[in-house]
A and B are shown apart, each in its own frame.
Chain A
Amino acid sequence: MAKKEYAFYPGCSSQKGASASNYLVSVESMCKTLDIKMTEIPDWNCCAASISYAEAGNLPRHVLNARNFALAADNLPGQDIVATCAACWLGARESKERLEHSSVLLEDTNTALKEAGLNIKVIPEIKHMVEVLIEDLGYSELASHVKKPLAGMKIAGYVGCQTNRPFGIHGESFENPMYLDKLIETVGAEPTPYDQKVTCCGGALAFSEPEKAQAQIKDIIESAYDSGADMVVTPCPLCQANVEVYQGQINKRYGTKFNIPVLYYSQLMVVAYGGSAKDAGLNGQVIRARKLEDLAGK
Protein backbone atom coordinates (compact mmCIF):
# COMPACT_ATOMS: atom_id res chain seq x y z
CA MET A 1 0.00 0.00 0.00
CA ALA A 2 1.18 3.47 -0.82
CA LYS A 3 2.39 5.69 1.98
CA LYS A 4 -0.11 8.44 1.14
CA GLU A 5 -3.28 8.47 -0.98
CA TYR A 6 -5.03 11.47 -2.48
CA ALA A 7 -7.86 12.42 -4.82
CA PHE A 8 -5.99 14.02 -7.69
CA TYR A 9 -7.24 17.16 -9.44
CA PRO A 10 -4.75 17.57 -12.31
CA GLY A 11 -6.45 20.52 -14.03
CA CYS A 12 -6.80 21.44 -17.68
CA SER A 13 -3.32 22.78 -18.39
CA SER A 14 -1.61 19.54 -17.34
CA GLN A 15 -3.49 17.33 -19.79
CA LYS A 16 -1.63 15.54 -22.57
CA GLY A 17 -0.55 18.04 -25.19
CA ALA A 18 -1.56 21.04 -23.07
CA SER A 19 0.64 23.89 -21.87
CA ALA A 20 1.73 22.26 -18.58
CA SER A 21 1.87 18.63 -19.71
CA ASN A 22 5.53 18.50 -18.67
CA TYR A 23 4.47 19.41 -15.12
CA LEU A 24 2.22 16.35 -14.91
CA VAL A 25 4.91 14.05 -16.30
CA SER A 26 7.34 15.16 -13.60
CA VAL A 27 4.74 14.99 -10.82
CA GLU A 28 3.92 11.41 -11.75
CA SER A 29 7.60 10.40 -11.60
CA MET A 30 8.10 12.29 -8.34
CA CYS A 31 5.09 10.63 -6.71
CA LYS A 32 6.33 7.19 -7.73
CA THR A 33 9.62 7.79 -5.90
CA LEU A 34 7.86 9.20 -2.85
CA ASP A 35 5.26 6.41 -2.80
CA ILE A 36 2.33 8.81 -3.12
CA LYS A 37 -0.77 7.35 -4.76
CA MET A 38 -2.78 9.88 -6.73
CA THR A 39 -6.17 8.74 -8.04
CA GLU A 40 -7.70 11.12 -10.53
CA ILE A 41 -11.14 12.44 -9.53
CA PRO A 42 -13.39 10.73 -12.10
CA ASP A 43 -14.62 13.16 -14.78
CA TRP A 44 -13.30 16.26 -12.94
CA ASN A 45 -14.02 19.62 -14.56
CA CYS A 46 -12.28 22.97 -14.97
CA CYS A 47 -12.16 25.30 -11.93
CA ALA A 48 -12.94 28.29 -14.24
CA ALA A 49 -9.78 30.08 -12.97
CA SER A 50 -9.87 33.64 -11.63
CA ILE A 51 -10.30 35.23 -15.04
CA SER A 52 -13.81 33.93 -15.69
CA TYR A 53 -15.16 36.20 -12.92
CA ALA A 54 -17.02 38.57 -15.26
CA GLU A 55 -18.95 36.00 -17.27
CA ALA A 56 -19.30 33.39 -14.53
CA GLY A 57 -20.57 35.47 -11.66
CA ASN A 58 -20.57 34.09 -8.15
CA LEU A 59 -22.78 31.02 -7.77
CA PRO A 60 -21.98 29.34 -11.12
CA ARG A 61 -18.26 29.47 -10.28
CA HIS A 62 -18.77 27.77 -6.92
CA VAL A 63 -21.13 25.20 -8.41
CA LEU A 64 -18.46 24.27 -10.94
CA ASN A 65 -15.94 23.63 -8.16
CA ALA A 66 -18.57 21.91 -6.04
CA ARG A 67 -19.08 19.30 -8.77
CA ASN A 68 -15.47 18.25 -8.24
CA PHE A 69 -15.97 18.13 -4.47
CA ALA A 70 -19.01 15.89 -4.89
CA LEU A 71 -17.25 13.58 -7.35
CA ALA A 72 -14.22 13.29 -5.05
CA ALA A 73 -16.29 12.67 -1.90
CA ASP A 74 -18.49 10.08 -3.65
CA ASN A 75 -15.74 8.16 -5.43
CA LEU A 76 -12.72 8.64 -3.20
CA PRO A 77 -14.22 9.07 0.28
CA GLY A 78 -11.92 10.30 3.03
CA GLN A 79 -9.17 11.43 0.67
CA ASP A 80 -7.91 15.00 0.50
CA ILE A 81 -8.05 16.65 -2.91
CA VAL A 82 -4.63 17.54 -4.31
CA ALA A 83 -4.19 20.08 -7.09
CA THR A 84 -0.93 20.73 -8.89
CA CYS A 85 -2.07 23.98 -10.50
CA ALA A 86 -2.11 27.18 -8.46
CA ALA A 87 -5.36 28.41 -10.03
CA CYS A 88 -7.16 25.07 -9.53
CA TRP A 89 -6.06 25.00 -5.91
CA LEU A 90 -7.05 28.61 -5.29
CA GLY A 91 -10.40 28.31 -7.07
CA ALA A 92 -11.31 25.14 -5.20
CA ARG A 93 -10.19 26.50 -1.81
CA GLU A 94 -12.08 29.72 -2.36
CA SER A 95 -15.27 27.82 -3.18
CA LYS A 96 -14.82 25.54 -0.17
CA GLU A 97 -14.38 28.54 2.11
CA ARG A 98 -17.43 30.35 0.73
CA LEU A 99 -19.66 27.28 0.83
CA GLU A 100 -18.69 26.46 4.40
CA HIS A 101 -19.26 30.06 5.42
CA SER A 102 -22.74 30.51 3.93
CA SER A 103 -25.62 28.09 4.35
CA VAL A 104 -27.58 29.98 1.68
CA LEU A 105 -24.80 29.54 -0.85
CA LEU A 106 -24.48 25.86 0.07
CA GLU A 107 -28.21 25.33 -0.30
CA ASP A 108 -28.26 27.01 -3.73
CA THR A 109 -25.20 25.02 -4.76
CA ASN A 110 -26.87 21.74 -3.87
CA THR A 111 -30.03 22.79 -5.73
CA ALA A 112 -27.91 23.41 -8.84
CA LEU A 113 -25.82 20.25 -8.38
CA LYS A 114 -29.01 18.19 -8.34
CA GLU A 115 -29.33 18.95 -12.06
CA ALA A 116 -26.13 16.94 -12.54
CA GLY A 117 -27.30 14.20 -10.17
CA LEU A 118 -24.90 15.24 -7.42
CA ASN A 119 -24.95 16.53 -3.86
CA ILE A 120 -22.36 17.68 -1.35
CA LYS A 121 -22.41 16.85 2.32
CA VAL A 122 -18.78 17.13 3.37
CA ILE A 123 -16.23 19.10 1.38
CA PRO A 124 -12.83 17.38 1.36
CA GLU A 125 -9.65 19.21 2.39
CA ILE A 126 -7.94 20.83 -0.59
CA LYS A 127 -4.17 20.84 -0.85
CA HIS A 128 -1.59 22.04 -3.29
CA MET A 129 1.03 19.42 -4.21
CA VAL A 130 3.60 21.58 -2.41
CA GLU A 131 1.62 21.23 0.83
CA VAL A 132 1.67 17.46 0.44
CA LEU A 133 5.44 17.56 0.07
CA ILE A 134 6.15 19.97 2.91
CA GLU A 135 3.42 19.24 5.43
CA ASP A 136 2.50 15.60 4.88
CA LEU A 137 6.00 14.32 4.02
CA GLY A 138 8.48 16.94 5.26
CA TYR A 139 11.82 18.20 3.98
CA SER A 140 13.90 15.39 5.51
CA GLU A 141 11.78 12.71 3.85
CA LEU A 142 12.10 14.59 0.55
CA ALA A 143 15.88 14.84 1.00
CA SER A 144 16.26 11.15 1.82
CA HIS A 145 15.53 10.17 -1.80
CA VAL A 146 18.15 12.44 -3.37
CA LYS A 147 20.67 10.42 -5.39
CA LYS A 148 22.11 13.17 -7.59
CA PRO A 149 22.30 16.50 -5.78
CA LEU A 150 22.01 19.47 -8.16
CA ALA A 151 25.41 20.65 -6.96
CA GLY A 152 26.60 24.01 -8.25
CA MET A 153 23.27 24.99 -9.80
CA LYS A 154 21.95 28.43 -8.88
CA ILE A 155 18.20 28.70 -8.95
CA ALA A 156 15.79 31.63 -8.51
CA GLY A 157 12.69 30.41 -6.65
CA TYR A 158 9.78 32.24 -8.27
CA VAL A 159 6.80 31.71 -5.98
CA GLY A 160 4.47 34.11 -7.82
CA CYS A 161 0.95 34.95 -6.67
CA GLN A 162 -1.64 32.27 -6.43
CA THR A 163 0.24 29.63 -4.43
CA ASN A 164 1.22 32.47 -2.11
CA ARG A 165 -1.89 34.65 -1.81
CA PRO A 166 -4.47 34.80 -0.39
CA PHE A 167 -4.09 31.38 1.26
CA GLY A 168 -0.41 30.62 0.90
CA ILE A 169 1.48 27.77 2.47
CA HIS A 170 0.94 27.46 6.21
CA GLY A 171 3.55 29.27 8.30
CA GLU A 172 5.01 31.20 5.36
CA SER A 173 4.87 34.99 4.97
CA PHE A 174 3.20 36.55 1.94
CA GLU A 175 6.09 38.94 1.38
CA ASN A 176 9.00 36.50 1.59
CA PRO A 177 7.92 32.86 1.58
CA MET A 178 10.87 30.50 2.03
CA TYR A 179 9.47 27.08 1.08
CA LEU A 180 10.63 27.13 -2.51
CA ASP A 181 14.15 28.16 -1.46
CA LYS A 182 14.11 25.29 1.04
CA LEU A 183 13.00 22.85 -1.68
CA ILE A 184 15.86 24.09 -3.87
CA GLU A 185 18.28 23.44 -1.02
CA THR A 186 16.71 20.03 -0.39
CA VAL A 187 17.71 18.89 -3.90
CA GLY A 188 21.25 20.16 -3.38
CA ALA A 189 21.08 23.38 -5.42
CA GLU A 190 21.64 26.94 -4.29
CA PRO A 191 18.68 29.36 -4.05
CA THR A 192 19.67 32.86 -5.18
CA PRO A 193 18.59 36.03 -3.35
CA TYR A 194 15.66 36.88 -5.59
CA ASP A 195 13.92 40.28 -5.35
CA GLN A 196 10.92 39.47 -7.51
CA LYS A 197 9.96 36.13 -6.00
CA VAL A 198 6.35 37.12 -5.30
CA THR A 199 5.81 39.58 -8.17
CA CYS A 200 2.81 38.98 -10.40
CA CYS A 201 3.56 37.71 -13.95
CA GLY A 202 0.38 39.35 -15.23
CA GLY A 203 -1.61 36.12 -15.00
CA ALA A 204 -4.35 35.89 -17.60
CA LEU A 205 -3.67 39.47 -18.68
CA ALA A 206 -0.70 38.09 -20.62
CA PHE A 207 -3.40 37.24 -23.19
CA SER A 208 -5.59 40.32 -22.98
CA GLU A 209 -3.03 43.02 -22.15
CA PRO A 210 0.25 41.53 -23.43
CA GLU A 211 2.29 44.74 -23.26
CA LYS A 212 1.42 45.35 -19.62
CA ALA A 213 2.02 41.73 -18.62
CA GLN A 214 5.32 41.56 -20.47
CA ALA A 215 6.54 44.66 -18.64
CA GLN A 216 6.01 42.71 -15.40
CA ILE A 217 7.57 39.52 -16.77
CA LYS A 218 10.63 41.50 -17.86
CA ASP A 219 11.25 42.60 -14.25
CA ILE A 220 10.85 39.04 -13.01
CA ILE A 221 13.43 37.67 -15.46
CA GLU A 222 15.84 40.57 -15.07
CA SER A 223 15.87 40.09 -11.33
CA ALA A 224 16.57 36.37 -11.75
CA TYR A 225 19.62 37.18 -13.87
CA ASP A 226 20.71 39.85 -11.37
CA SER A 227 20.59 37.29 -8.59
CA GLY A 228 23.06 35.11 -10.51
CA ALA A 229 20.58 32.33 -11.28
CA ASP A 230 21.07 29.71 -14.03
CA MET A 231 17.36 28.97 -14.07
CA VAL A 232 14.01 29.90 -12.54
CA VAL A 233 11.76 27.43 -10.73
CA THR A 234 8.07 27.84 -9.91
CA PRO A 235 5.06 25.93 -8.48
CA CYS A 236 2.50 27.47 -10.89
CA PRO A 237 1.69 26.51 -14.52
CA LEU A 238 0.74 30.05 -15.55
CA CYS A 239 3.86 31.57 -13.96
CA GLN A 240 5.91 28.93 -15.76
CA ALA A 241 4.37 29.56 -19.16
CA ASN A 242 4.29 33.36 -18.91
CA VAL A 243 7.90 33.64 -17.74
CA GLU A 244 9.23 31.10 -20.22
CA VAL A 245 7.42 31.50 -23.53
CA TYR A 246 7.41 35.30 -23.95
CA GLN A 247 11.17 35.76 -23.54
CA GLY A 248 11.60 36.04 -27.34
CA GLN A 249 8.92 38.73 -27.58
CA ILE A 250 10.35 40.63 -24.63
CA ASN A 251 13.79 40.53 -26.27
CA LYS A 252 12.30 42.09 -29.40
CA ARG A 253 10.40 44.72 -27.47
CA TYR A 254 13.13 45.73 -25.05
CA GLY A 255 16.35 44.69 -26.79
CA THR A 256 17.20 42.25 -23.99
CA LYS A 257 18.89 38.88 -24.49
CA PHE A 258 16.87 36.73 -22.14
CA ASN A 259 17.19 32.98 -22.53
CA ILE A 260 16.74 31.48 -19.07
CA PRO A 261 15.06 28.11 -18.48
CA VAL A 262 11.92 28.07 -16.28
CA LEU A 263 11.22 24.78 -14.49
CA TYR A 264 8.77 23.26 -12.05
CA TYR A 265 9.96 22.23 -8.57
CA SER A 266 8.89 18.68 -9.42
CA GLN A 267 11.29 18.56 -12.39
CA LEU A 268 14.23 19.43 -10.12
CA MET A 269 13.17 16.70 -7.73
CA VAL A 270 12.88 14.02 -10.40
CA VAL A 271 16.39 14.75 -11.68
CA ALA A 272 17.76 14.79 -8.13
CA TYR A 273 16.00 11.48 -7.46
CA GLY A 274 17.92 9.92 -10.35
CA GLY A 275 15.16 10.09 -12.99
CA SER A 276 15.84 10.56 -16.69
CA ALA A 277 15.30 13.83 -18.59
CA LYS A 278 12.14 12.26 -20.01
CA ASP A 279 10.84 11.29 -16.54
CA ALA A 280 11.34 14.93 -15.54
CA GLY A 281 9.49 16.22 -18.63
CA LEU A 282 12.59 18.21 -19.63
CA ASN A 283 11.74 17.65 -23.30
CA GLY A 284 8.73 19.89 -22.59
CA GLN A 285 10.80 23.04 -22.08
CA VAL A 286 10.63 25.75 -24.73
CA ILE A 287 13.98 27.01 -23.39
CA ARG A 288 15.98 23.84 -22.77
CA ALA A 289 17.48 23.34 -19.32
CA ARG A 290 20.86 21.99 -20.48
CA LYS A 291 22.45 21.78 -17.04
CA LEU A 292 19.62 19.60 -15.77
CA GLU A 293 19.58 17.50 -18.94
CA ASP A 294 23.32 16.88 -18.58
CA LEU A 295 22.96 15.82 -14.97
CA ALA A 296 19.98 13.57 -15.76
CA GLY A 297 22.02 11.91 -18.54
CA LYS A 298 24.97 11.08 -16.30
Chain B
Amino acid sequence: MSDMNQQMTTRYKNNFLKEIEQQAEMGDWVKMCMQCGVCSGSCPTNFHPGWAHPPQEIFMMIRAGKRDEVLDSQSMWMCTSCYNCYVRCPRKLPITHIMHGIAEYAYRLGRAPKGQPTLHLSKTFWNNCTKSGRTNEVQLTQTLYFKDGIVSGIKKALVMQDVAIGLVKAGRLNIMEALGGGHKCKGAKGIHAMLAKARELENQRKGRAA
Protein backbone atom coordinates (compact mmCIF):
# COMPACT_ATOMS: atom_id res chain seq x y z
CA MET B 1 0.00 0.00 0.00
CA SER B 2 1.06 3.54 -0.64
CA ASP B 3 2.28 5.99 1.95
CA MET B 4 -0.79 8.08 1.40
CA ASN B 5 -3.04 5.11 2.17
CA GLN B 6 -1.23 4.63 5.48
CA GLN B 7 -1.26 8.35 6.20
CA MET B 8 -5.04 8.51 5.69
CA THR B 9 -5.79 5.29 7.61
CA THR B 10 -3.95 6.74 10.59
CA ARG B 11 -5.60 10.13 10.30
CA TYR B 12 -9.21 8.95 9.96
CA LYS B 13 -8.95 5.70 11.94
CA ASN B 14 -12.32 4.00 11.55
CA ASN B 15 -14.25 6.99 10.29
CA PHE B 16 -14.42 6.26 6.58
CA LEU B 17 -17.41 8.59 6.02
CA LYS B 18 -15.39 11.52 7.36
CA GLU B 19 -12.45 10.48 5.20
CA ILE B 20 -14.60 10.51 2.06
CA GLU B 21 -16.25 13.81 3.07
CA GLN B 22 -12.92 15.53 3.42
CA GLN B 23 -10.87 13.83 0.74
CA ALA B 24 -13.13 12.92 -2.18
CA GLU B 25 -14.60 15.55 -4.49
CA MET B 26 -18.24 16.16 -3.48
CA GLY B 27 -17.82 13.51 -0.78
CA ASP B 28 -19.67 15.65 1.76
CA TRP B 29 -22.91 14.81 -0.08
CA VAL B 30 -22.72 11.08 0.71
CA LYS B 31 -24.62 11.37 4.00
CA MET B 32 -27.56 12.98 2.18
CA CYS B 33 -28.43 9.77 0.29
CA MET B 34 -31.80 8.34 1.36
CA GLN B 35 -31.27 4.96 -0.32
CA CYS B 36 -34.14 5.24 -2.79
CA GLY B 37 -32.19 3.55 -5.61
CA VAL B 38 -33.27 5.84 -8.45
CA CYS B 39 -29.58 6.28 -9.37
CA SER B 40 -29.10 2.54 -9.72
CA GLY B 41 -32.15 2.14 -11.93
CA SER B 42 -31.01 5.07 -14.08
CA CYS B 43 -27.47 3.90 -14.75
CA PRO B 44 -26.88 2.78 -18.35
CA THR B 45 -24.19 0.34 -17.25
CA ASN B 46 -26.25 -1.40 -14.56
CA PHE B 47 -26.70 -4.61 -16.53
CA HIS B 48 -23.02 -5.00 -17.35
CA PRO B 49 -20.59 -7.25 -15.51
CA GLY B 50 -18.22 -5.39 -13.18
CA TRP B 51 -20.95 -3.18 -11.79
CA ALA B 52 -21.02 -4.88 -8.40
CA HIS B 53 -22.23 -1.93 -6.33
CA PRO B 54 -24.64 0.70 -7.65
CA PRO B 55 -24.18 4.25 -6.31
CA GLN B 56 -26.66 4.03 -3.44
CA GLU B 57 -24.98 0.84 -2.26
CA ILE B 58 -21.53 2.48 -2.40
CA PHE B 59 -22.90 5.37 -0.32
CA MET B 60 -24.26 3.01 2.34
CA MET B 61 -21.02 1.02 2.35
CA ILE B 62 -19.14 4.26 3.03
CA ARG B 63 -21.43 5.00 5.96
CA ALA B 64 -20.93 1.44 7.20
CA GLY B 65 -17.16 1.92 7.15
CA LYS B 66 -16.45 -0.69 4.47
CA ARG B 67 -13.25 1.01 3.42
CA ASP B 68 -11.50 -1.85 1.63
CA GLU B 69 -14.61 -2.99 -0.24
CA VAL B 70 -15.31 0.53 -1.54
CA LEU B 71 -11.78 1.57 -2.45
CA ASP B 72 -10.98 -1.71 -4.22
CA SER B 73 -14.25 -1.79 -6.15
CA GLN B 74 -14.55 -1.70 -9.95
CA SER B 75 -17.99 -0.11 -9.67
CA MET B 76 -17.08 3.60 -9.67
CA TRP B 77 -14.98 3.03 -12.79
CA MET B 78 -18.05 2.00 -14.76
CA CYS B 79 -19.36 5.60 -14.83
CA THR B 80 -19.86 6.91 -18.38
CA SER B 81 -20.51 10.50 -17.17
CA CYS B 82 -24.02 10.46 -18.64
CA TYR B 83 -25.46 12.38 -15.64
CA ASN B 84 -28.71 10.40 -15.60
CA CYS B 85 -28.39 9.66 -11.87
CA TYR B 86 -27.43 13.27 -11.23
CA VAL B 87 -30.57 14.81 -12.73
CA ARG B 88 -32.94 12.19 -11.32
CA CYS B 89 -31.74 12.10 -7.71
CA PRO B 90 -34.66 13.37 -5.59
CA ARG B 91 -32.22 14.82 -3.05
CA LYS B 92 -30.11 16.49 -5.73
CA LEU B 93 -26.90 14.69 -4.95
CA PRO B 94 -24.30 15.32 -7.69
CA ILE B 95 -23.88 11.56 -8.00
CA THR B 96 -21.74 11.59 -11.15
CA HIS B 97 -19.17 13.79 -9.42
CA ILE B 98 -19.30 11.79 -6.19
CA MET B 99 -18.56 8.58 -8.13
CA HIS B 100 -15.70 10.33 -9.96
CA GLY B 101 -14.47 11.70 -6.63
CA ILE B 102 -14.42 8.30 -4.91
CA ALA B 103 -12.72 6.71 -7.93
CA GLU B 104 -10.09 9.44 -8.03
CA TYR B 105 -9.42 9.09 -4.31
CA ALA B 106 -9.03 5.31 -4.60
CA TYR B 107 -6.49 5.93 -7.36
CA ARG B 108 -4.53 8.48 -5.29
CA LEU B 109 -4.35 5.95 -2.45
CA GLY B 110 -3.00 3.30 -4.80
CA ARG B 111 -6.14 1.24 -4.21
CA ALA B 112 -7.75 1.27 -7.67
CA PRO B 113 -7.99 -2.19 -9.30
CA LYS B 114 -4.85 -3.14 -11.20
CA GLY B 115 -5.07 -2.57 -14.95
CA GLN B 116 -8.46 -0.85 -14.65
CA PRO B 117 -9.03 0.22 -18.29
CA THR B 118 -11.02 3.39 -17.62
CA LEU B 119 -8.44 4.57 -15.09
CA HIS B 120 -5.79 3.96 -17.73
CA LEU B 121 -7.84 5.98 -20.22
CA SER B 122 -8.27 8.80 -17.71
CA LYS B 123 -4.51 9.03 -17.10
CA THR B 124 -3.73 8.78 -20.79
CA PHE B 125 -6.28 11.43 -21.74
CA TRP B 126 -5.13 13.95 -19.14
CA ASN B 127 -1.43 13.47 -19.96
CA ASN B 128 -2.18 13.70 -23.67
CA CYS B 129 -4.27 16.87 -23.55
CA THR B 130 -2.09 18.74 -21.09
CA LYS B 131 1.17 17.98 -22.91
CA SER B 132 0.54 20.50 -25.69
CA GLY B 133 -2.68 21.98 -24.31
CA ARG B 134 -4.79 20.17 -26.90
CA THR B 135 -5.75 16.56 -27.48
CA ASN B 136 -3.74 14.60 -30.01
CA GLU B 137 -6.31 11.97 -30.99
CA VAL B 138 -3.90 9.71 -32.88
CA GLN B 139 -1.35 9.49 -30.09
CA LEU B 140 -4.18 9.01 -27.60
CA THR B 141 -5.44 5.99 -29.55
CA GLN B 142 -1.92 4.58 -30.00
CA THR B 143 -1.21 4.78 -26.27
CA LEU B 144 -4.49 3.03 -25.51
CA TYR B 145 -3.91 0.17 -27.96
CA PHE B 146 -0.35 -0.48 -26.91
CA LYS B 147 -0.86 -0.33 -23.15
CA ASP B 148 -0.40 -4.11 -22.81
CA GLY B 149 2.60 -4.40 -25.13
CA ILE B 150 3.33 -4.49 -28.83
CA VAL B 151 1.73 -7.83 -29.76
CA SER B 152 -1.58 -7.06 -28.09
CA GLY B 153 -1.41 -3.54 -29.52
CA ILE B 154 -1.05 -4.78 -33.08
CA LYS B 155 -3.93 -7.22 -32.55
CA LYS B 156 -6.15 -4.41 -31.27
CA ALA B 157 -5.11 -2.14 -34.13
CA LEU B 158 -6.00 -4.87 -36.63
CA VAL B 159 -9.44 -5.31 -35.09
CA MET B 160 -9.92 -1.55 -35.35
CA GLN B 161 -8.41 -1.06 -38.80
CA ASP B 162 -11.76 -0.74 -40.60
CA VAL B 163 -12.77 2.03 -38.22
CA ALA B 164 -9.44 3.80 -38.76
CA ILE B 165 -9.55 3.48 -42.55
CA GLY B 166 -13.10 4.86 -42.58
CA LEU B 167 -11.97 7.88 -40.59
CA VAL B 168 -8.87 8.48 -42.73
CA LYS B 169 -11.00 8.38 -45.90
CA ALA B 170 -13.42 10.85 -44.35
CA GLY B 171 -10.54 13.20 -43.46
CA ARG B 172 -11.13 12.76 -39.74
CA LEU B 173 -7.89 11.06 -38.73
CA ASN B 174 -4.69 13.04 -39.21
CA ILE B 175 -1.78 10.60 -39.59
CA MET B 176 0.68 13.46 -39.01
CA GLU B 177 -0.46 13.61 -35.41
CA ALA B 178 1.34 10.29 -34.85
CA LEU B 179 4.60 12.14 -35.45
CA GLY B 180 3.71 14.94 -33.05
CA GLY B 181 2.11 17.16 -35.70
CA GLY B 182 -1.36 18.63 -35.45
CA HIS B 183 -2.68 21.44 -33.32
CA LYS B 184 -1.23 22.64 -30.02
CA CYS B 185 -1.16 25.65 -27.69
CA LYS B 186 1.54 28.31 -27.87
CA GLY B 187 1.29 28.73 -24.12
CA ALA B 188 1.98 25.07 -23.26
CA LYS B 189 4.76 26.07 -20.85
CA GLY B 190 2.42 28.35 -18.92
CA ILE B 191 -0.17 25.57 -18.85
CA HIS B 192 2.33 23.17 -17.30
CA ALA B 193 3.32 25.73 -14.68
CA MET B 194 -0.26 26.59 -13.70
CA LEU B 195 -1.25 22.92 -13.46
CA ALA B 196 1.75 22.12 -11.26
CA LYS B 197 0.72 24.97 -8.99
CA ALA B 198 -2.90 23.75 -8.97
CA ARG B 199 -1.80 20.25 -7.96
CA GLU B 200 0.33 21.70 -5.16
CA LEU B 201 -2.56 23.81 -3.84
CA GLU B 202 -5.00 20.91 -3.98
CA ASN B 203 -2.65 18.72 -1.95
CA GLN B 204 -2.20 21.51 0.60
CA ARG B 205 -5.95 22.05 1.00
CA LYS B 206 -6.50 18.35 1.56
CA GLY B 207 -3.58 17.96 3.94
CA ARG B 208 -1.81 15.49 1.68
CA ALA B 209 1.93 15.14 1.34
CA ALA B 210 2.80 16.21 -2.21
Q: Does A32 contact B (CB under 8 A)?
A: no
Find chain B residues with CB under 8 A from A22 CB.
170-172
Q: Does A1 contact B (CB under 8 A)?
A: no
Q: Does A176 contact B (CB under 8 A)?
A: no
Find chain B residues with CB under 8 A from A113 CB.
194
Q: Does A17 contact B (CB under 8 A)?
A: yes
Find chain B residues with CB under 8 A from A115 CB.
190, 193-194, 196-197
> A21 to B137, alpha carbons, bound, how many Å?
12
Q: Does B83 contact A (CB under 8 A)?
A: yes
Most chain A beta carbons < 10 A, residue from B122, B137, B183, B202? B122
Report A45-68 residues with CB < 8 Å from chain B CB. Answer: 45-46, 48-60, 63-64, 67
The total number of A-B Cβ pairs within 8 Å is 224
Find chain A residues with CB under 8 A from B134 CB.
12, 15, 45-46
B 113-132 to A, binary, CB cutoff 8 A, 1 in contact else 0: 00001111111011101100
Q: Does B64 contact A (CB under 8 A)?
A: no
Number of interface residues of A (CB under 8 A): 68
Known: A50-B100, A64-B195. 5 other contacts (CB 8 A): A54-B122, A63-B198, A67-B191, A200-B44, A204-B125
Q: Does A122 contact B (CB under 8 A)?
A: no
Q: Does A254 contact B (CB under 8 A)?
A: no
User: Chain B interface residue count: which class?
Assistant: 35 or more
Find chain A residues with CB under 8 A from B190 CB.
115-118
Find chain A residues with CB under 8 A from B4 CB.
none
Q: Does B73 contact A (CB under 8 A)?
A: no
Pull 29 A–B residue pairs with CB atoms less than 8 Å apart, ordered by A: A13-B135, A13-B137, A17-B172, A17-B174, A43-B187, A44-B185, A46-B130, A46-B134, A48-B130, A50-B81, A50-B100, A64-B191, A67-B187, A111-B197, A112-B194, A161-B83, A165-B83, A166-B94, A174-B88, A199-B44, A203-B80, A209-B78, A209-B117, A215-B48, A245-B166, A249-B162, A286-B166, A286-B169, A286-B172
Find chain B residues with CB under 8 A from A17 CB.
171-174, 176-177, 182
Q: Which of A52, A161, A200 contacts B129 (CB 8 A)?
A: A52
A 1-41 to B, binary, CB cutoff 8 A, 1 in contact else 0: 00000000000110111111110000000000000000000
B 174-209 to A, binary, CB cutoff 8 A, 1 in contact else 0: 101100001101110011011111110110010000
Report A105-149 residues with CB < 8 Å from chain B CB. Answer: 108-109, 111-118
> A119 to B137, alpha carbons, bound, how many Å?
30
Min CB distance B87 to A, Å, is 5
Find chain A residues with CB under 8 A from B194 CB.
63, 67, 112-116, 118
Nearest A residue to B186 by beta-carbon distance? A43
Min CB distance A28 to B, Å, is 15
Find chain B residues with CB under 8 A from A104 CB.
205
| A283 touching B107, Cβ below 8 Å | no
User: Which positions in B face A, CB cutoff 8 Å?
Assistant: 25, 44-45, 48, 78, 80-84, 86-88, 94, 96, 100-101, 103-104, 107-108, 112, 117-123, 125-127, 129-130, 133-135, 137, 141, 144, 159, 162-163, 166-167, 169-174, 176-177, 182-183, 185-187, 190-191, 193-199, 201-202, 205
Q: Does A246 contact B (CB under 8 A)?
A: yes
| A12 touching B129, Cβ below 8 Å | yes
Find chain A residues with CB under 8 A from B197 CB.
111-112, 114-115
Q: Which of A13, A207, A245 contacts B144 (CB 8 A)?
A: A207
Find chain A residues with CB under 8 A from B104 CB.
53-54, 57
| B126 touching A56, Cβ below 8 Å | yes
> A52 to B170, alpha carbons, bound, how many Å?
28
> A13 to B170, alpha carbons, bound, how many Å?
14
Min CB distance B108 to A, Å, is 8
| A283 touching B170, Cβ below 8 Å | yes
A 259-292 to B, binary, CB cutoff 8 A, 1 in contact else 0: 0000000000000000000000001111000000
Known A-B contacts A208-B121, A283-B171; the reply to A52 vs B163 at CB < 8 A is no
Nearest B residue to A286 by beta-carbon distance? B166
Nearest B residue to A246 by beta-carbon distance? B163
Q: Which of A13, A16, A55, A202 contacts B122 (CB 8 A)?
A: A55
Known A-B contacts A63-B194, A209-B118; the reply to A54 vs B163 at CB < 8 A is no
Min CB distance A237 to B, Å, is 10
